[in-house]
Structure formats: structure tokens, C-alpha cells
């Protein structure tokens, strides 16, 4: 089982959109669980699964078997979701009180290793104990970057948080919400592509199609397969799968 953590210190950069679309791409050939770690539950909403209201309590316990069979089916074959709920709001406090507080998620995920080939973690923005857990559990960290001078700073922050977690986890960054008509976007995109070895040559365009993900409540490729955005997420999944040696 491979764990893919979608993370950024910045909010609103397309993490949830990426998590949902990567999970869908992965589910073409693998059994996938998307775990929504954000109490606002955006991924839970998009995948149309019902919050269960017990996530935080279970995380607080020492049990490692609670995930087994707990992924809820979605409208898509081979794609399950573990929904977020309001109780995740104080997940940091719960984790802080637990033994080995930065390893809790990784240990829980061991219990689903037989059920899933791929787990995608959708993190809330910012650095937190939840994020630290998600990064610790990760086989690779996927970082969406929007074309702005501040994006390099957020990538540097991710690199340093991952490095501090004492694991040499590969980081894959890519550009998203790229709007060729916006002043500064093409130049920022070009400079970001060459700026760090972590930045892939993949750009998800800013399009109405992706924006509609929340309204249609579906991954892009499920309702608009022949679009540049769907194809970019397909390319991103190919790069991620190669990085974690999934063929």
C-alpha cells in the first residue's frame, strides 16, 4: 500500500481538488481510499459520502483495527472514502494527547494495508500535528502550486517540514490554476518550473470545468474526460505512480 499526501502550507491552492482527482485516476487500476482529514469536509462533499461522526474518538484510542472495512463506498468502482466530520476540528489536541503523536495516522493505516493499494490523504492547510502525521505516513507528498511568487516560499516550507520529519519522502510539486491570460501567470509558471527539482512539468489550467467539481460533485475525468484538466491530472497520477513504484 502506498500513501500519497496532498499538502501545502497555503490554503485554497487546489489540494482537495488534486486529492479527489488523483484518487479517481488511481482507482482505474488500484483499490483506493481517500481519507479526508479536513474538518470542513470538502473532499467528503465532492465524493458525496456521509460524515460518520466518530473519526476523532477512534483516532484517540489505541486501537489500530478501526479503519478495517470502514472506508465507505463512493459512486466509483475501487474508490472508497473515509469522510471527515466536525469532530476533526480538535484532532490536533487529540493527537497531541496520544502516545507517539506524530505516528498515529501511519499506524492506523497499517490496518488497511490489505484492503487498499493506494491511500490519498487530503490535508487542511498549514502545518499542524495532523499534517505532521500525514507527512510521516506518506510515501510521496504532492504539492499544488499556483503561479505566484509566494508559491516558491510555500514549497520551501513543505520541503523543510518534510525534512524535519526525518524521512526522505519524495516531494512532487506541480502548477495548477494556471491562467495564461492573467498578467504574471506565464512568467511565474515558467520560473517555477525551472526553480526546484521537485517541480514537475505539469500544469493544470484554471478552467470552469475544474471549478465545477464542487457543483457536479465528481472528479473532473468522470464528467469531462476529454479536457486539458482531466489529461493533466492523468499525467500527474502517472508521475506520482512512478515515484512510489506503482505500475
Ligand X SMILES: Nc1ncnc2c1ncn2[C@@H]1O[C@H](COP(=O)(O)OP(=O)(O)OP(=O)(O)O)[C@@H](O)[C@H]1O
Binding footprint of Mg ion on the chain (CB under 5 A): 15-16, 42
Query: Alpha-carbon distance 131 to 15, whole Å?
Result: 13
164 exposed, middle or buried (CB, 10 Å; 0-12, 13-18, 19+)? Answer: exposed
Q: Residue 34: what are its φ and ψ, rounded to 5°?
A: -105, 120
Three-state DSSP class for residue 127: coil
Query: Alpha-carbon distance 247 to 241, whole Å?
Result: 7
Three-state DSSP class for residue 200: strand
Q: Choose from Mg ion, ligand X, none: what does 125 bind? Cβ within 5-8 Å by kind.
A: ligand X
* Binding status of residue 177 toward ligand X by CB under 6 A: yes
CA distances from 100 to 7, 109, 117, 174 (A): 21, 15, 25, 32
**Distance of closest approach, residue 207 Cβ to ligand X, in angstroms:** 5
Q: Given the rule CB under 6 A, which of 5-13, 134-142, 181-189, 190-198 is the region that contacts ligand X?
A: 5-13
Q: Residue 82: what are its φ and ψ, rounded to 5°?
A: -110, 105
Query: Nearer to ligand X by C-beta: 38 or 139?
Result: 38
x-marked contacts with ligand X along 126-155 as a string, rule CB under 6 A:
------------------------------
Q: Choose from Mg ion, ligand X, none: what does 165 bind? Cβ within 5-8 Å by kind.
A: none
**Distance of closest approach, residue 11 Cβ to Mg ion, in angstroms:** 8
x-marked contacts with ligand X along 210-239 as a string, rule CB under 6 A:
xx-xx--------------x----------
Q: Which of 171, 188, 206, 236 binds ligand X (CB under 6 A)?
A: 206
End-to-end CA distance of the chain: 12
Q: Choose from ligand X, Mg ion, none: what does 17 bind? Cβ within 5-8 Å by kind.
A: ligand X
Residues that bind ligand X (CB under 6 A): 11-17, 38, 42, 124-125, 176-177, 204, 206-207, 210-211, 213-214, 229
Amino acid at each position: 500500500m502506498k500513501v500519497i499526501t496532498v499538502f501545502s502550507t497555503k490554503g485554497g491552492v487546489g489540494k482537495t481538488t488534486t486529492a479527489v482527482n488523483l484518487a479517481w485516476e488511481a482507482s482505474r487500476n488500484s483499490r483506493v481510499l481517500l481519507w479526508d482529514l479536513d474538518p470542513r469536509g470538502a473532499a467528503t462533499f465532492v465524493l458525496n459520502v456521509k460524515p460518520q461522526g466518530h473519526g476523532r474518538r477512534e483516532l484517540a484510542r489505541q486501537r489500530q483495527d478501526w479503519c478495517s472495512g470502514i472506508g465507505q463506498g463512493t459512486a466509483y468502482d475501487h474508490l472508497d472514502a473515509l469522510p471527515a466530520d466536525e469532530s476533526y476540528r480538535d484532532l490536533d489536541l487529540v493527537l497531541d494527547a496520544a502516545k507517539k503523536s506524530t505516528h498515529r495516522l501511519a499506524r492506523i493505516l497499517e490496518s488497511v494495508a490489505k484492503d487498499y493499494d493506494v491511500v490519498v490523504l487530503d490535508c487542511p492547510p498549514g502545518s499542524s500535528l495532523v499534517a505532521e502525521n500525514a507527512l510521516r505516513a506518506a510515501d510521496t507528498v504532492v504539492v499544488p502550486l499556483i503561479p505566484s511568487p509566494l508559491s516558491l516560499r510555500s514549497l520551501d516550507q513543505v520541503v523543510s517540514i518534510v525534512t524535519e520529519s526525518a524521512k526522505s519522502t519524495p516531494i512532487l510539486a506541480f502548477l495548477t490554476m494556471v491562467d495564461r491570460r492573467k498578467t504574471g501567470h506565464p512568467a511565474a509558471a515558467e520560473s517555477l518550473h525551472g526553480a526546484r527539482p521537485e517541480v514537475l512539468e505539469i500544469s493544470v489550467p484554471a478552467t470552469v470545468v475544474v471549478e465545477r467539481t464542487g457543483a457536479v460533485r465528481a472528479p473532473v475525468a468522470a464528467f469531462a474526460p476529454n479536457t486539458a484538466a482531466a489529461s493533466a491530472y492523468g499525467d500527474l497520477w502517472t508521475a506520482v505512480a512512478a515515484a512510489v513504484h506503482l505500475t
